[in-house]
Amino acid sequence: MKTLKMLAAAVAFLATPAVIAAQAAEPVVLERGNGAEPDTLDPQKATGSWENNIIGDMIIGLTTEDAKGNPIPGMAESWTTSPDGLVWTFKLRADAVWSDGVPVTAGDFVFAFQRINDPATGGQYASITHIIKNAAKVYSRALPPDQIGAKAIDDKTLEITLEHPAAYLPDMLVHYAFFPVPKHAIEKFGADWVKPGNYVSNGAFTLVSWTPNDKVILKKSPTFYDAANVKIDEVRFYSQEDQIANTKRFRAGELDLSAGIPGQLLDELKRSMPEKVRIAPFIANWYVTFNLTRPEWQDVRVRTALGLAIDREVIVNQILRGGETPAYTFVQPNVPNYPHEAHLFYRDMPMAERQKKARELLAEAGFGPDNPLKFEFLHMQSTDGKRLATALQGMWKQIGVEMTPTGQETKTVYSALRQQNFGVALAGWIADFPDASSFLYLAKTSSDEMNYGKYSNARFDQLNIDGDNEPDAAKRGALLNQAEQILLDDAPFLPIYNAVSRYLVEPYVKGFEDALTNVHRTRWMSIDQEKKAAGGAGATPTIQTADASGQTGAAPAQGGGASNLMWWLIGGGVLLALAGAIIARRRTSA
């Protein structure tokens, strides 16, 4: 009986406040599954949300996001606007410094806006900054860089002049294309400024290391103006496009949160761990895009036929199954201050009738049983990317089309899209801010590399310009709605579905909030160490894992990290010591 009491006491010791406090004294590490491998950590060259997740933890702009993705003051502590809405004056924080101690100045922003609009930089998002006066002309080299509409009044006062009024500018400025960059570091290291050891940031975290196709590690920055309220000491972003593999790692305790949940596992995960599945509205959509520089895709009848044959209801209800909705518009339904009247003409047409119409259009374009339309379809290698491609292949086969799926890494796909190195492809878009213009932006002639298929329609462009210059919100919405209808009728894009954000999040991760933008900055998060320790103190559970086919099988959950291992070793040592004492006592008694 005494032996059992001693063993019970040893086990109880492992859960004492002293042990938990000692565990909490270790660096707090957040393990994040981040999806695709980043192509760059330079905010002026990045294009993907997976890059934004990392870069936005290190660098912040004039405004930044709160935990729910809403814009709040960032480097700017306040701002004023001229009566005509064209001139914005930002006062920078007096305590804003780069991670090497150099003050952040208004000149850093002016330098950044000039740099992204230098074609030599390769800033694929430069066009989003063309709301700044003369930025487009600087980009086209019609004007010198110093003519851009950004001026440092003094080190802590920045004046930005716009091409047209934009009440939504604070929402836009959270985007990484508007981030400052450290002029002094770039002048010293050139393109190598983004490498570990050279990287200088002004946000909550700094770069420690980047292991390609594995992970990026950041650590808390002591120079950040709000460092006292940052609860995570180190964050690790893991690169893995296979959502099933990420789900396995999460279940094994290797990840604290993971972006993306494969559709075929959703029902099982909702049953087995409902408190860890986070699905929320999201201003994003997925669509098919065509390369209109190639003659074979310039016939609107062919593009429309393919759109008619997509069974969007089957895709969202039988394949994705996460709350996504069929997309018959290009502007996402969650976007506010917009009439949402434009739609595909076949929205209410029965599928059999749509397939019949599709075959007729293909026949008019010269395709049929003796001359089927054949092409390769570029898509991401993510779990759902592959499943979508397979589904579209089957749907298009029903109208006599022979499509061959071609999967590539996500960053490779988007590189091909920007260079028009594709015929037909799958693409996804997350709005840069919750406004219709952020979706229509993709189809503007002036959007350069972000207009993947090089669609160009003068009437569409003019309606966007008119909308930009219309101060009345209702009239502006009506103009943009007309532009969207032109886009839908021309069919350079085929909307497939409106996305939702899907995350797996451990309950001990605090501060992870649903956000319409699906931006979740680590600075707002923390780890409840007691809850984490309590969650790992029970027996090792048997979990259901799934392979790429969706088949499940039993597998034991694995440990959750080095700190847990250390404390189990300490606990094991305590138990061994007690066992030794018990044996010695028995020998003495004998």
How high is the pLDDT of residue 5? 46
Residue 567, pLDDT above cutoff 80: no
Q: Which tens digits make up the pLDDT trace of 529-541?
A: 999 998 753 333 3
**Band (378; pLDDT cuts 50, 70, 90):** very high
Q: Are residues 190 and 65 in the same domain?
A: yes
Q: Are residues 491 and 574 in the same domain?
A: no
Half-sphere exposure of 250 (CA within 13 A, CB side): 30
Domain-embedded: residue 50:
yes
- For residue 457, which of 487, 494, 418, 417 has the smallest C-alpha distance? 487
Q: Are residues 322 and 399 in the same domain?
A: yes
Distance CA 546, CA 463 (A): 49
Distance CA 46, CA 36 (A): 13
Domain containing 317 — which CATH number? 3.10.105.10
* Ramachandran sector of residue 98 (left: φ over 0; alpha: ψ -120 to 50; beta: rest): beta
Domain-embedded: residue 252:
no
Q: Are residues 7 and 58 in the same domain?
A: no
Let me know if 319 is exposed, middle or buried by CB neighbors in 10 A (0-12, 13-18, 19+): middle
**Local structure of 550: helix, strand or coil:** coil
Distance CA 452, CA 492 (A): 10
The DSSP symbol for 82 reads -
Please state, as a whole number, how many other Cβ atoms lie within 10 Å of the Cβ of residue 21. 11
Q: Are residues 444 and 574 in the same domain?
A: no
Q: Are residues 338 and 483 in the same domain?
A: yes
Q: Are residues 12 and 103 in the same domain?
A: no
How high is the pLDDT of residue 471? 87
The token pair that represents 184 in the structure block = 């002094």
Average pLDDT over residues 504-519: 96
Residue 226, pLDDT above cutoff 60: yes
- Which pairs with CB-CB distance under 8 Å and at least 24 residues apart come from 242-248? 242/381, 242/382, 242/383, 243/382, 243/383, 243/384, 244/383, 244/546, 244/547, 244/548, 246/33, 246/35, 246/504, 247/504, 247/545, 247/546, 248/545, 248/555
Distance CA 311, CA 320 (A): 13
Domain-embedded: residue 267:
no
Domain-embedded: residue 223:
yes
The token pair that represents 80 in the structure block = 């004023």
Q: How far is CA 471 from CA 84, 160, 165, in A?
A: 10, 19, 7
Pairing state between β 424-430 and 234-238: unpaired
Q: Which of 212, 229, 246 is the last residue of a domain?
A: 229
The token pair that represents 206 in the structure block = 């700094």
Pairing state between β 257-259 and 29-33: parallel
Please state, as a whole number, how many other Cβ atoms lie within 10 Å of the Cβ of residue 292. 19
Is residue 230 within 8 Å of 523, Cβ to Cβ? yes
One DSSP character per residue, 98-164 reads: -TTSPBP-HHHHHHHHHHHTSGGG--TTGGGGGGBTTHHHHHTTSS-GGGSSEEEEETTEEEEEBSS
Nearest-5° Cα angle at 285, 393 to 425: 40
Distance CA 520, CA 260 (A): 13
Q: Are residues 18 and 46 in the same domain?
A: no
Q: Which tens digits make up the pLDDT trace of 542-556?
A: 333 333 223 223 233
> Regarding predicted confidence, which is higher, 540 or 442?
442
Q: Which tens digits make up the pLDDT trace of 344-360?
A: 999 999 999 999 999 99
How high is the pLDDT of residue 536? 53
How high is the pLDDT of residue 16? 53
Residue 172, pLDDT above cutoff 90: yes
Distance CA 99, CA 102 (A): 7
Q: How far is CA 93 from CA 63, 76, 345, in A?
A: 12, 6, 51
Instruction: Mention every residue, 6+ apart, whose C-beta is less than 8 A from residue 537.
Output: 14, 15
Domain count, the chain: 3
Domain containing 111 — which CATH number? 3.90.76.10
Domain-embedded: residue 561:
no
Q: Are residues 201 and 75 in the same domain?
A: yes
Domain-embedded: residue 62:
yes
Domain-embedded: residue 374:
yes
Quote the percentage of the chain above a pLDDT of 90.
80
Is residue 296 within 8 Å of 423, Cβ to Cβ? yes
Q: Which of 471, 500, 529 is the last residue of a domain?
A: 500
Is residue 429 within 8 Å of 439, Cβ to Cβ? yes
Is residue 292 within 8 Å of 455, Cβ to Cβ? yes
User: Of all helices (H) and strands (E), which one includes residue 556?
Assistant: strand 552-556
Pairing state between β 150-154 and 157-161: antiparallel
Q: Are residues 162 and 311 in the same domain?
A: no
Domain-embedded: residue 239:
no
Q: Are residues 484 and 578 in the same domain?
A: no
Is residue 417 within 8 Å of 427, Cβ to Cβ? yes
How high is the pLDDT of residue 263? 85
Residue 87, pLDDT above cutoff 60: yes
Distance CA 305, CA 353 (A): 12
Q: 21: domain range?
A: 2-25+569-589
